[in-house]
Chains A and B, each alone.
Chain A
């Protein structure tokens, strides 16, 4: 167990809908990262928050957004869902910034869009 928790574990929804994925980082970790893993694209970095502020953006679509709350948990919001958004979404956390400390991954949320 990495200490990073994610809910829900599975999510099935229809195209056009909106969902929210939740992540709680390890105790003491200030950075939260969101990654998308699909079969053909591997692990893709979406966005990073550090102590409540957005620090870096990767291949995140405009239909997706995220935030980190004062208690450091983070939410990833996916809207106007398309079939291609079906994937495993991982949250990871670290004490500081990548390049300085290790990232620990949560168990992931499997999103299926039908």
Chain B
């Protein structure tokens, strides 16, 4: 199945700074890459996703970039706010069905 590596495992930034989380995948046939945000004790929530026919997608302060040649994709959060503090997971399809998730990045935004 698909292997998804995610870095860093923890990230601490000051409010207003940018945060970048990177993931790599192994299956070159993968065509869908979602990002989930999980607050403590809550369910993972889809925040943005990208399909393999585009290189970048933006939604307000959040953007995702995809490099199919290098098989990596990244989440960019600009102008971070304390409420952005959470665990972020990247994922890629496994054998075209469910998702394989990265290990998660714990983001802390300090005021």
Chain A positions near chain B (C-beta within 8 angstroms): 2, 33, 42-45, 48, 55-56, 58, 90, 97-100, 102-108
- Interface contact A56-B49, CB-CB below 8 Å: no
14 further contact pairs, Cβ within 8 A, besides A45-B99, A105-B45? A45-B100, A48-B97, A56-B94, A90-B44, A98-B94, A98-B97, A99-B31, A99-B93, A103-B46, A104-B46, A105-B36, A105-B44, A107-B43, A108-B43
**Nearest residue, chain B, Cβ from A90:** B43
Q: Complex Cα distance A98/B30, Å?
A: 10
Residues in B whose Cβ lies below 8 Å from that of A98? 32, 93-94, 96-99
Q: Complex Cα distance A102/B99, Å?
A: 10
Beyond A43-B44, A90-B43, A108-B43, whether A99 also contacts B97 by CB under 8 A is yes
Q: Complex Cα distance A104/B49, Å?
A: 13
Residues in A whose Cβ lies below 8 Å from that of B31? 99
**Nearest residue, chain B, Cβ from A40:** B103
Residues in A whose Cβ lies below 8 Å from that of B97? 48, 55-56, 97-99
Q: Complex Cα distance A104/B44, Å?
A: 8
